[in-house]
Amino acid sequence: MNTKNIVTPGQRLGFAQDYVAGPGTYVRGNLLYASVVGMKRVSKQTAEGETLVLTVSREKQQSAIPEVCSLITGKVIRITPKEAVVSIMVVDNSPRKRL
């Protein structure tokens, strides 16, 4: 396993104009970031021209992780002026696994 391909959430992966964001990634501004811990992979999408798709895939199946527009059910644990800590129990009608 090449450890250079292992990425963590929030790690910059490249520029949005160079890649299409695939599963396990997101775009903020003009940069592409990892949203999960896993292996960074680049694949070609040739439906309409040569497009590089950047994905991050997890080695092990984990419980559901919310994405933008996901509906969650959770319990508010703590609220501070800068953040709220929430224990997420259900993501889009899929219960999360206990760790």
Digit-coded pLDDT (tens) for 3-44: 568 899 899 999 999 998 988 999 999 999 998 888 999 888
Whether 11 and 48 share a structural domain? yes
Whether 77 and 40 share a structural domain? no
Measure the CA–CA gap between 90 and 71, rounded to whole angstroms. Answer: 8
Whether 53 and 28 share a structural domain? yes
Whether 50 and 77 share a structural domain? no
Domain count, the chain: 2
Question: Quick one: pLDDT at residue 1?
Answer: 47
Whether 29 and 67 share a structural domain? no
Closest by CA to 88, choosing from 80, 79, 98, is: 98
Residue range of the domain that includes 95: 63-99
* CA–CA distances in Å: residue 74 to residues 47, 68, 77, 86: 40, 16, 9, 6
Whether 18 and 46 share a structural domain? yes
For residue 75, with 0-12 CB atoms within 10 Å meaning exposed, 13-18 middle and 19 or more buried, which class applies? exposed
67 has a pLDDT exceeding 70: yes
Neighbours of 13 (CB within 10 A): 22
Please tell me the least confidently modeled range out of 11-20, 22-31, 55-64, 67-76: 55-64
Percent with pLDDT over 90 in the chain: 38
| pTM for this model (two decimals) | 0.60
